Structure 1
Amino acid sequence: MAESADIQVLGQDSGPGSGKGSGQGSGSKGSGPRRSLSFQLAVALTLALLPIGILAAVLAADGIRNAREAELVRAENQFRATARVVDDLLNVDFLVLRALLRNESGLNDGRTCNTEAANALDDAETFDSIIWADSSGRTICQSRGGTKPSAAELTRLAAESERENLIWPGGDHVFLAVREEPENGEPGLIVATASVSRLKARLGEIAAMEGSTTVWLGDKAILGTAPPGAAAPGGLLTVRRVNEPGGRGQVVAAGPLSIAPFALTTIVPAAHLAAADVLAIAAPSLMWIAALLIGWMVVRRFVVRPLQNMASGVRAYGAGDDRVRLSGRAGQTDEMQAFAETFDAMAQDMAEARQEVDAALTEQRRLTREIHHRVKNNLQIIASLISIQAREADGADVARAYASIQMRVGALSIVHRWLYEESDTQGVNFTALTHDLCASLQQLIPTAKLVEPRINTHLERLHISQDSAVPLAFLITEVIAFAARLAAAEGRGKMTIDVHVRRTERGGELQICSDAFGEDDPLAPSQTRAAARIVNGMVRQLRGRLTYDADMPCYSFEFPLKPRLG
């Protein structure tokens, strides 16, 4: 899906040749930076679905928070359930003592203390010994064996305001006491001794409950293994989450029991969310992301990619490939297909129109060449007729006049010949035209009974336009013919003429050199002879300047070249 980023659509061409359109687009007033359709779509979908995304994030955070709070509640419930079991076990022992206190009120009526104590110890397996005392703490009767409280402890237990009490002197046993108001001198206090090991055995059933449990007696853990670094719980119930070094979380609940100095610590493993729970929490966020991705993929599939394909087709069509059609590139949507079919119909119409124009241009070119060919033939016929008439002329001056006309007509004939051979991209071959003119003049000048010329050509390959061909041809013809007339006037029998055609930085240069010209410029604009008027008229038509160098002596003229196409 990572086509580029840079997705270009119709009207956003960035390839070669698109500088004009790009410049207009980027430089138009008020237009901002352009972005790809994929980028704009992602922004639009994000903004459209942003409320859903925020709600999804809130719901996910709330789900995680609720899950953590549920863990704390579960740990607290586990602590209270375990504490209830411990309290119930201890309350059973207090209930036994309360029954003994009420049932043994007749210990002074002939019944032996040892017998009653033995029966009581058999009923309550937790106790090691039992003491009956009056409301002031004085011993009335006691069983044999076992550790018993001291007189001071009995006095303190008798003075307690609570009906039930438990004290731990710090050894391996505890004292459980039940106190009631006596009647008729009956015992008001009963104290039982319970060893810590027996209490631990009685509390063993909580080991089967969830998690791990530690029962504290004061600051001593009498059941279970205390967590590393943990101390006996304080006065309030605390529930907190603890992360172990291995990364597994635990929830620890610790607090005192209803019967002091007992306390309890429970550890419950932190619940791992099931896949369904994780999915339920993450579902809103996943739905938002899925909606964003699906929308982006759908638009890329049905809009962006067809637009890219059609844009490449349009660029190929603009580069000259008339066979390009967009119907196979437009995807499967009705709107894209309608656009592609409209473009294809337009391309078909333009192709047919171009074919008609090409056919018309070909026919026009053929007719133009035919015209040039016929004009050339007609001019050659005229030149032949002039040549025939010149042979019957009386006098050398008339023959020279006919020869001049024949040379000019022959020059036009040669020009039309090369106009017929003109290339659409290069123009008229001026090199070949000059060579043919010089060859023709070398044959025609002797027939005018002037001199025997030798024309040397030094030509570079250059091309000129049709508009420049006729003036340049007349210019060459008049200058060479004028040099021959000057040489004949001096009584020469032969003469040499050098014709140079070369390329310069500004175009082309024509140079005609002959020692017949002399020191003064015989073709200056101020001269009134026909040759001067014709030459200067051709120079003005070409919008150039004819220069004369008497030292060489040479005439030089710069002319424009036809720019090449393609």
Structure 2
Amino acid sequence: MESTEIQGSGPRRSLSFQLAVALTLALLPIGVLAAVLAADGIRSTREAELVRAEDQFRTTARVVDDLLSVDFLVLRALLRNESGLQDGRTCNTEAANALDDAETFDALVWADMLGRPVCESRGGTKPSTAELTRLAAEGERENLIWPGGDHVFFAVREAASRGQPGLIVATASISRLQARLREIAAMEGDVTVWLGDKAIVGDPPPGISAPGGLLTVRRVSEPGQSDNVVASGPLSIAPFALTTVVPGARLAFADILAIAAPSLMWIAALLIGWMVVQRFVVRPLQNMASGVRAYGAGNDHVRLSGAAGQTDEMQAFAETFDAMAKNMADARQDVDTALTEQRRLTREVHHRVKNNLQIITSLISIQAREAEGGDVSRAYASIQMRVGALSIVHRWLYEESAAHGVDFTALTQDLCASLQQTIPTAKLVEPRINTHLERLHISQDAAVPLAFLITEVIAFAARLAAAEGDTRLTIDIHVKRTETGGELQICSDAFGEKDALAPTETRAAARIVSGMVRQLRGRLVFDSGVPCYTVEFPLKQRPDKILSDAGTKPAIGS
């Protein structure tokens, strides 16, 4: 019966590899979702930092603007209280009192709407006549002028009657402004106050210059430090500007873990899955596979229960295999016992047949001695030779090795020795049989026809020699191995040039020889040049050869 092998549709992969692929596909959507959510959370946090930095800038700018606005309020109050300023004594007193009240200013100048001085304080840096004229002509009520030196001018302008003060200008040194603004910077954090393109309070971050005309918020990275969020922009009172720095939030461990969690989960799942499969599936399967291979190699004592791991399924498979192995071992033991007994009985049968044939040979020999006439005696001798050949075959069948078969070399030598003793009595010829034998083994089915074939051909040669009046006969027997089996060759000058044993001949020897050749499924070839008879025969197959040829029809002798 032919077996059908079912094969998979694709290349084989290890169980660990397939598990890794399955876990990857299963965890990939979850990992991607978690990574997206973590990234979105971090992005939201960074955007919130920008908003917080802008709020911080606006809060600080409002405080600085309020501080400067207070100075303008003081100047506006001094401008409105202009009574008696034309009097020198009143002017000096009013100016001195005003400077005492306003800590920011170093000098004061009152002027009319045309920029002509009306009253001024003593000492200090004051604006020039041209600057007063320009400030009086300004349309805005409040102005701040920085001429680029170490002081600035605060100016307040209001409408007034002709000849009355309509402009007041106060001088403030940069150092005094810095002293007041540092207090604010200390309360508001990392702050830089700009006067034009010069930083008068605080140290700007590396790479940050004076702000332009718009508020900008950006993230600045410094080597070896965390990111900072910098907001820069002008104040409402020009040319003041402001820069605030808010430290960027460091990436917390929870954020890092949230980002790395999908990858860590994937790797952990792969490792745990691989370890579980290796521990509970792959290793037990490998151990059981090794046991099955050892069992197939002939180790009947292999059991899988100790190598099946700890899973119920593996243990069930191992117990089933062990039970099957035990049943097969018991059955094999029973078969071996029965086979041993059968061999003993077969040998006993061959032994008894050999003994019976020897008795028959002895009886024929006794009867031949009492026969009257040479022809009757020779007939008894021919029968005795055939029965003796069969007896010798049964003796070697009794000695047959189960693995190698019948030793054809020893059988031939034993048969030739027996023929050398019996032929002189039957044929009145003294034979000399020379053997050239290669060691071969044949089966029981081939032993009997080969023994009869050798006996009949040698006896026929003796008969031909006796008919020619020869008293001596030389016969050469060659046995050798060929590519297809064994070859038997019997050579003697007594055969002559004619094939007297051809299948078309009617004499008894020819018929017997033809029958034996048919049993061997061979062909008898006569070579008149030597002259020789040659026949090929099958050999006993080796056990491994028998297994490889199982299922084919055996030839005779296999």
Does the alignment reach a TM-score above 0.5?
A: yes
Give the superposition deviation at 1:457.
Answer: 0.9
Distance 2:186 2:254 in 1: 29
Q: Which moved more, 1:130-139 or 1:33-42?
A: 130-139
- Which residue number corresponds to residue 440 of structure 2? 462
> Is the aligned partner of 1:536 residue 2:517?
no
Structure 1 residue aligned with 2:405: 427
Corresponding residue number in structure 2 for 1:277: 255
| Amino acid paired to 1:275 | F
The secondary structure found in structure 1 opposite 2:333 is helix
1:386-401 correspondence to structure 2 within 5 Å:
386-401=364-379
Structure 2 residue aligned with 1:442: 420
> Quick one: distance in 2 between partners of 1:355 and 1:158?
131
- CA displacement at 1:164 relative to structure 2: 3.4
Which of 380, 401, 408 aligns to 1:402? It is 380
Distance in 2, Cα, partners of 1:111 & 1:186: 17
Tell me the percent identity: 83
CA distance in structure 1 between the partners assigned to 2:128 and 2:419 by the alignment: 159
Instruction: For residues 22-77 of structure 1, give each alpha carbon's deviation from its aligned partner in whole angstroms, at most 9, with x where no partner exists.
Output: x9344x7xx23332222222222222222202112212322332343344344434
Taking the TM superposition and a 5 Å limit, the aligned residue runs for 1:87-486 are 87-103=65-81, 107-108=85-86, 112-181=90-159, 187-205=165-183, 208=186, 212-244=190-222, 249-486=227-464
Query: Quick check: 2:60–2:188 contact (8 Å CA) kept in 1?
Result: no
Q: How far off its partner does 1:175 sit?
A: 1.6
What does residue 21 of structure 2 align with? 43
Q: Is this contact kept in 1: 2:522–2:536, CA < 8 A? A: yes
Distance 1:277-1:53 versus aligned 2 partners, 3 A rule? closer
Contact 1:56 1:288 in 2 (8 A): no
Measured in 2, the distance between the counterparts of 1:33 and 1:383 equals: 72
Greater displacement, 458-467 / 206-215? 206-215
CA distance in 1, matches of 2:63, 2:344: 118
One-letter identity of the residue aligned with 2:5: Q
Stretch deviating more after TM superposition (495-504 or 111-120): 111-120
CA, structure 1 residues 406+44, in 2 after alignment: closer, same or farther (shift >3 Å)? Answer: same
Unaligned runs of 5+ in 2: 545-558
* Larger displacement relative to structure 2 (288-297 or 522-531): 288-297
The answer as to whether partners of 1:64 and 1:281 remain within 8 angstroms in 2 is no
The structure-2 alpha-carbon separation of the partners of 1:279 and 1:462, relative to structure 1 and needing over 3 Å to count, comes to same
- Structure 1 residue 201, shift from structure 2 partner: 2.7
1:343 and 1:138 mapped to 2: Cα distance? 122
Cα 1:186–1:326 change in 2 (3 A) is farther
Q: What is the distance in 2 between the residues matched to 1:413 and 1:164?
A: 150
Instruction: State the Cα distance separating 1:273 from its structure 2 match.
Output: 1.8
1:321 match: secondary structure? coil
Amino acid aligned to 2:422 = L
The structure-2 alpha-carbon separation of the partners of 1:553 and 1:219, relative to structure 1 and needing over 3 Å to count, comes to: same
Give the 5 Å matches for 1:484-523. Answer: 484-523=462-501
Residues paired across the two proteins, number: 543
CA distance in 2, matches of 1:127, 1:267: 30
Residue range with higher mean Cα deviation, 267-276 or 438-447: 267-276
1:322 and 1:209, CA in 2 relative to 1: closer, same or farther beyond 3 A?
A: farther
Distance 1:55 1:481, change over 3 A: same
Q: Which SS does the other structure have where 2:229 is aligned? A: strand
With over 3 angstroms needed to count, the CA separation of the structure-2 counterparts of 1:201 and 1:110, relative to structure 1, is closer
Q: 1:477 and 1:54, CA in 2 relative to 1: closer, same or farther beyond 3 A? A: same
CA-CA distance at 1:357 after TM superposition: 2.0
Q: In terms of mean alpha carbon deviation, does 203-212 or 418-427 score higher?
A: 203-212
Question: Quick one: distance in 1 between partners of 2:208 and 2:193?
Answer: 12
Mapped to 1, the partners of 2:498 and 2:70 lie a distance apart of 152
Q: Is the CA contact (8 Å cut-off) linking 2:427 and 2:462 kept in structure 1?
A: no
Q: Spell out, residue by residue over 1:281-314, the C-alpha distance to the aligned partner (whole angstroms, 9 max, x if none).
A: 4334433443444344333332333333323323
Separation (CA, whole Å) in 1 of partners of 2:82 and 2:307: 107
Question: Is the 2:38–2:255 Cα contact (8 Å) retained in structure 1?
Answer: no
Counterpart-to-counterpart distance in 2, 1:80 and 1:485: 142
Aligned CA distance change for structure 1 residues 394 and 74 (closer, same or farther; 3 Å) = farther
Verify the 8 A CA contact 1:372 1:416 in the aligned structure 2: yes
Q: What letter matches 1:40 in structure 2?
A: Q
- The residue type equivalent to 2:499 in the other structure is D
TM-fit CA distance, 1:405? 1.6
What is the match of residue 548 of structure 1? Answer: 526
Instruction: Report the secondary structure of 2:543's partner residue.
Output: coil
Three-state SS of the structure 2 residue aligned to 1:233 is coil
CA distance in 2, matches of 1:262, 1:397: 158
Contact conserved, 1:49 with 1:292, CA < 8 A, in 2?
Answer: no
User: 1:518: Cα distance to partner?
Assistant: 0.7
Secondary structure at the counterpart of residue 448 of structure 2: helix
Q: How many Å separate the matches in 1 of 2:21 and 2:484?
A: 57
Deviation of 1:454 after TM superposition, in Å, equals 1.3
Q: Which amino acid aligns with 1:359?
A: T
Alignment match of 1:559 (pick from 531, 537, 552):
537
Quick check: 2:32–2:262 contact (8 Å CA) kept in 1? no
Helix, strand or coil: the match of 1:376? helix
Separation in 2 of the partners of 1:428 and 1:70?
A: 101
Asked if the contact 1:105/1:186 (under 8 Å) is kept, the reply is no
1:24 matched to 2:2: no
Q: Report deviation, 1:105.
A: 5.4
CA change 1:114–1:541 in 2 (3 A) is same
**CA deviation digits over 1:369-389, x for unaligned, max 9?**
222222222222222222222
* 1:475-495 Cα distance to aligned partner (Å, 9 max, x none): 111111111111122222221
**Which of 44, 61, 64 is matched with 1:83 structurally?**
61
CA drift at 1:257: 2.1
Matching residue's letter, 1:416:
H
TM-fit CA distance, 1:186? 6.1
* 1:315 Cα offset (Å): 2.7
Q: Decide whether aligned partners of structure 1 residues 179 and 432 sit closer, same or farther in structure 2, where only a CA change above 3 A counts.
A: farther
Give the Å deviation of 1:514: 0.9
Given candidates 28, 31, 40, the residue that maps to 1:62 is: 40
Deviation at 1:128, TM superposition (A): 1.7
Query: Take 1:373 and 1:245, find their aligned partners in 2: how far apart are those partners?
Result: 106
Q: Secondary structure at the match of 2:5?
A: helix
- In the superposition, the TM-score normalised over structure 1's length comes to 0.87
Could you tell me which residue of structure 1 aligns to residue 551 of structure 2?
none
TM-score when normalising by structure 2 = 0.88
Instruction: Tell me the distance in 2 between the aligned counterparts of 1:103 and 1:367.
Output: 152
Moved more, 451-460 or 154-163: 154-163
Kindly provide the amino acid, as one letter, of the partner of residue 522 in structure 2.
Answer: G
Q: Which residue of 2 aligns with 1:6?
A: none
Change (3 A) 1:470 1:247: farther
Aligned AA (1:115)? T
